[in-house]
Amino acid sequence: MFIDSNHTSATVSYYQDAKNALMGDYATQIAAMMIDHAKQSREQNQELRRGEEAHLRLVQREHIEALRTEADMIQAAANAQGNAMIASGFFTVGASVTTYFDSPNAAGIMNGSGKAAEGMGMLGKGENDRKAGLARAEATEYEHQSQEALRRLEDLDGDDESAKDLQRKAFEHLRVVQQIKADTDRALTSWRG
């Protein structure tokens, strides 16, 4: 979402087009230059603002994605460890029962399998915890970037306000000049008469 720059520059364009056709003195040229400057400055601000908005949207989207990744990784880590422990528990039960029925080999295999499952679970948990930590770090980084972008947008707002003020003054100056010119013309006309 952004503001189209054509919305704000129309009035300024009229004056810019009109300045050569209507005016020729230095005072008017200075006013026209001020308007030019204000117009360019505001257009530049709008471009920067548009870019900043796009950047802000991007980093906020990335922030959200990083948070979701972290949630997925937390779930995956818990699943890995939980599944492994469940498997290990059942292997332990199996080993106990087989021991009771005098099958030491099977019991050994089951005990070993239980330990292996626990090891695999810890491995999976460690890997997923690492990914979750990375995702959390990324989320924090994107959050900071979005705050930076917001601060830059505030700065741009301030710049735009200054340019708008300059533009207002230039128009006022132009109006005063035209008023003086008109008064002078009228005085001259009366005097000639």
List residues binding another protein (CB under 8 A): 1, 3, 7-8, 10-11, 13-14, 17-18, 21-22, 53, 56-57, 60, 63-64, 67-68, 70-72, 74-75, 77-79, 81-97, 99-100, 153, 164, 171, 175, 178-179, 181-182, 185-186, 189-190, 192-193
- CB of 119: closest distance to another protein in angstroms? 14
51/94 with CB nearer another protein: 94
31/77 with CB nearer another protein: 77
What's the Cα-to-Cα distance from 187 to each of 129, 177, 190, rounded to whole Å?
Answer: 86, 15, 5
Six token digits for residue 106: 């099977």
> Among 1, 91, 118, 89, which residue's Cα sits nearest to residue 53?
1
Residue 116 CA, distance from chain mean position: 46
- CB of 38: closest distance to another protein in angstroms? 12
- CB of 185: closest distance to another protein in angstroms? 5
162/178 with CB nearer another protein: 178
Distance, in Å, from the CA atom of 91 to the CA atom of 113, rounded to the nearest integer, reads: 7
- CB of 4: closest distance to another protein in angstroms? 10
97/123 with CB nearer another protein: 97
Distance, in Å, from the CA atom of 16 to the CA atom of 23, rounded to the nearest integer, reads: 11
Name the amino acid, one letter, at 150. Answer: L
- CB of 33: closest distance to another protein in angstroms? 19
Helix spans in the chain (H): 6-22, 26-100, 104-192
